[in-house]
Structure 1
């Protein structure tokens, strides 16, 4: 955390740079979203780059010295204006990770930024009569993730012309959610592993016809396993003592066997086949006793 990455984030032909520049040109300059977009553009997404810790400090300073100062009445509210502010912050983040490729280092840079925000001096607020710690334990990030997850999953009836774009976005945001799980950002969620525990079975338990959508579902499952597999095991399987944990242990074996089958059939494009093999290796390494008598 906290290191400058050589990400070529500021190159003008990158879609995420175009997105930020368009947001700066078109959004209301008085909104938190506009200010946050500008901070992203001149920090992590500039040609010169910026430490995630510096970007985090800029965001928090904007809240304290501009956003809150321009509307003193917010100080008397339970949430101190944080619901709107965090909605602006996480809205920008979730829009960006739809278009930043799942394997691109900028996804990690945004994770670093969220990590650094959590290590700023804590600020307590109240949302819906419950106490929360800003950036660290609050429900807004969970709501934003859930909305993007609900709205961007490629459905069976997706227009074929839009399917490829939607699938790319789905893989991108799923990989980011996996990174959030791995980083511990979801530890306070009501459903810590909701997203992978729905999407992995969709890819590896259901009978999906070959095509763009099937490849997308498999790649989403693979990213969850490779990035957040340890957390999924920890939260759903644990020590495997309860009936529910045993159920998830059984699912783990089914998923691994399906991945091995997909790899051996060699039906997928080469890049996805190699990811499938890597994900299978991850599953075996995380639960070796399950595969003691298998190759």
Structure 2
């Protein structure tokens, strides 16, 4: 009788151990992890573009998903192994309908992972504008009328008596251009886009606003003399208006200024025409944030 009891107990233990072993073998570890973005300063892109996150694994970009909302934090489900092996996070601006699986040239934030997080910013991936500076003059060199001189802005320095470069800005990474603006009665009006601070802007010969007597000096700028947008009248007087240099995605996501604005200045009400005026730091010099895995 005692042998039967012992045998029964041993059999039960073996069965329990066998079942436990079988259960252990069925445990499946999760294959995905959460990636959380907490980013500052981004603005909505409109219906034609989205933001897309990327992790860099073994030198290759892997998408973490797209988003349009700029309310943070936001979380995305990512392959656990890939996320653990990622060395960097990059945020790009992509077409909403995108047939290219690779990241666009327009990358706006980036930073290396250190442990469980990455501190990302725009300084290394767009340009470092913390030392940017600028000078401009009021003048209308594209017409023969000297009574409208306060109706044009040119980003140059003439303190030596001859036009010289007026902007000190870093060379932009691919996917970005500079754009000048005059905010007139609350309405931003473009002076044109450019990448070279020592040359004409891109619409120098085709601007609808300039006069009929040439394209002006070979620096970024604009004369607001004709064909004013609805709600404005040209010629105008830029004294009291705000002059801005923004950094724009290329291709551009919007006809309005983008969030990065490294230089800005309210034109003094007593500003003299043909005289150099210094710009100040703009409202948004860089973007930043934290990415946590």
Specify which structure has the higher proportion of strand. Answer: 2
Common fold: TM-score over 0.5: no
- The TM-score, its normalising length taken from structure 1, stands at 0.23
Specify which structure has the higher proportion of helix. Answer: 1
- The TM-score, its normalising length taken from structure 2, stands at 0.23
Structure with the greater alpha carbon radius of gyration? 2
Ranked by relative contact order (alpha carbons within 8 Å, sequence separation 6 or more), the top structure is 2
